[in-house]
Structure 1
Amino acid sequence: MSSLLVDDCERYKHFLVAPTPEFRGPRTVKTSKRWRPFAEEPMGTGSQKQAVLILRGMFDWLVKVRYLAGNPWTAVKDPVVIVQAEHMQVDRALSRNSWDTVVDVLTLRAAEPDNQQDRVALAAILLMGDSGLRRAEAASARQDKLKASRHASGVWMLTVLGKRNKIRKVPVSGRTIDALRAHWRDRGLDFDSTPADLPLLAPLVVPGTSAAQARHRDHGANGYRANSLYDLIAGALDRVQAHVAEHTSQEAPLLTPEALVQLKHTSPHAFRHTFGTLAVEDDMPIVVVQDVLGHASAATTSIYVKTKEKRIAEAAELYYERRRSSVGNEAVKKT
């Protein structure tokens, strides 16, 4: 690193735009032989800038402790980042019908005795879609932080540690509790016994890697990692799509072709957006949605209102077009 020049830093900055194939790979744990430092999809400009900032900060520290005489990254300009007014991709939120279909199909599959993976996936998806949790928050949620509400029947409250190390309380639905109970039975545990410092979600099938075996040696004391939860949910959504394809018909499709395409590209974070969108549609106060989602600013939560306005505008456009066509037809008949 002491030999690094500004030109080297510039070349690395350009490398971040399109890393060569040997540096890219699928998202997986670092202990896997398939792990690579970069994902297969291109890195966004925001991530490129973050990488440069991290390297510059690291070299600043090395200069301060007198390991290096100077910091070449000081002369390197940050990658240009185009800032979007609405940076959250709330358009990935599922429609009400798609969300209900996902839950209904997984509930049906979870009723089969051998479908343990569907039961834990259903619990995880409901934690995100009914409570607005981030994937990492669902993975780290603990059972002793979940209690029945004293203020409303059928509602539980879960204390979670979210972004910026902020603690908040989120509501948990009765159907989520039922799904958690079923998952805990699969783990050989009684969900309704004395609250325990155990993860709400824990893998029932542990990979054969030494790291995974060591992490889950205590039989459920450690829950899912966020990336493992991603894989669990992705697999469950694949099974939902297969079920829909098998049981749908042109006369009564479970999902439209457009909804199926969206579901194929749905990530776990989309369920958090689904909660925000549907909560606003059902007239949950914005301040409450903000508290549940843990947004630092009400302006962030207001994006879900704008999403609703977009749908209203699109529906109104179709309505007005039909009205214009109707009026035009009447005029033709009179002439």
Structure 2
Amino acid sequence: MPEALQRTVRGYLDHLAVERNLARNTLLAYRRDLDRYVAFLQARGVDGLAGVGERDVGEFLASLRSGDEDHPPLAASSAARAVVAVRGLHRFAVRDGRAGADPAREVKPPTPARRLPKALPLSDVEALLDAAGAGDGEPRALRDRALLEVLYATGARISEAVGLVVDDVPPPDGERDTVVLTGKGDRSRLVPIGSYARRAIDAYLVRARPALAIAGRGTPALFLNARGGRLTRQGAWGILSAAASRAGLEGRVSPHTLRHSFATHLLDGGADVRVVQELLGHASVATTQIYTLVTAERLREAYLTAHPRALG
């Protein structure tokens, strides 16, 4: 990468990290997108942003969707993220005096197809939780049950759940009934926790975590692996997959399934979308409103199934 272009990309990413406080995973994705963009420009003989035209940006977008010999085609959502990164880079370069014009301003990212989140019915959630706790009090079984209870009770992302420390959850027999979740951009939020999850956490803290911690070197992490270290996202996903398999739910459960179910069940029960937004940690209510489409579709299905004159 030419030195001047490398400095511009680095400056833009530093701006996103410091001033926009973007999450580390988002920054890594932007870095990959911009590396691909720079390689695309260099293949066309362009070695600086000043030499980029609107056609270059548009053809880069087309290459994302069609793929090439080095890259498979990207889905609309991934291509849209890459175009957002490129547009931001050019906008930053103009504002910082590194380029005189913004050739990406009129290039619009593709609109991803709207996909409704998949939520499990309550009976399947209960089967999943029961399957996670199968083990007659064995420490890892108690941990697995507590982990999945927390995911469903709070709507936490898996990364938020494995990031919990002991002080983030109510102590056994304590009066506090909230969990502290740390989400994207290191933003923390308090989420109430119900009695089922509270009992599962208490059982884990008293009867299981001390046994798991013996193998480790001491960590404040709430959920521990068999070596006494912090449970990883991959480890949590394995726990979820194993429980889903035991419950007969193969192919229907993803890391976000319990989060989707949490939001959908709250809205089905009459919770306000703004409340659900706060509980999920969404920066915008527009992100949360997709769940209202799920509940509307469920109402429609129920009506068509149950009303005697719905279909004629």
| Fold match (TM-score > 0.5) | yes
Q: What are the superposed Cα offsets for residues 79-112 of structure 1, whole Å, 9 maximum, x if unpaired?
A: 332575xx6x33x111111100100111114x36
Q: 1:179 to 1:134 in 2, by over 3 A?
A: farther
Structure 2 residue aligned with 1:47? 78
Structure 1 residue aligned with 2:111? 81
Given residue 232 of structure 1, which amino acid in structure 2 is its aligned partner?
G
* Structure 2 length-normalised TM: 0.64
Residues of 2 paired with 1:128 and 1:142: CA distance?
15
Residues of 1 paired with 2:284 and 2:254: CA distance?
24
1:311 corresponds to which of 291, 295, 298: 298
* Structure 1 length-normalised TM: 0.60
- Matching of residue 98 in structure 1 with residue 124 in structure 2: yes
Structure 2 residue aligned with 1:232? 235
More off after superposition, 270-279 vs 157-166: 157-166
Give the alignment of 1:1-335 within 5 angstroms.
1=2, 3-4=46-47, 5-6=52-53, 9-20=57-68, 23=71, 43-58=74-89, 61=92, 73-74=103-104, 77-81=107-111, 84=114, 89-90=116-117, 92-109=118-135, 111=136, 113=138, 116=140, 118-147=141-170, 156-163=177-184, 165-172=186-193, 173-178=197-202, 180-181=204-205, 183-188=208-213, 198-204=220-226, 220=229, 223-224=230-231, 228-229=232-233, 231-244=234-247, 260=249, 263-284=250-271, 288-296=275-283, 301=288, 303-321=290-308
Aligned-residue offset at 1:240: 3.1
Aligned-residue offset at 1:55: 3.0
Aligned-residue offset at 1:73: 4.9
Aligned-residue offset at 1:310: 2.9
Q: 1:282 to 1:65 in 2, by over 3 A?
A: closer
Q: 1:187 to 1:298 in 2, by over 3 A?
A: same
Aligned-residue offset at 1:64: 6.8
The answer on whether the counterparts of 1:237 and 1:264 sit within 8 Å (CA) in structure 2 is no
More off after superposition, 165-174 vs 14-23: 14-23
Identity %: 23
Structure 1 residue aligned with 2:42? none
Q: Where does structure 1 lack aligned partners over 5 or more consecutive residues? A: 25-41, 190-195, 206-218, 246-259, 326-335
Higher RCO (Cα < 8 Å, 6 or more apart): 1
Residues of 2 paired with 1:137 and 1:283: CA distance?
26
Given residue 63 of structure 2, which amino acid in structure 1 is its aligned partner?
F
Aligned-residue offset at 1:56: 3.9
Measured on the aligned residues, the alpha-carbon RMSD in Å equals 4.0
Structure 2 residue aligned with 1:28? none
Residues of 2 paired with 1:298 and 1:62: CA distance?
31
The answer on whether the counterparts of 1:133 and 1:293 sit within 8 Å (CA) in structure 2 is yes
For the residue of structure 1 that corresponds to 2:223, the secondary structure is coil
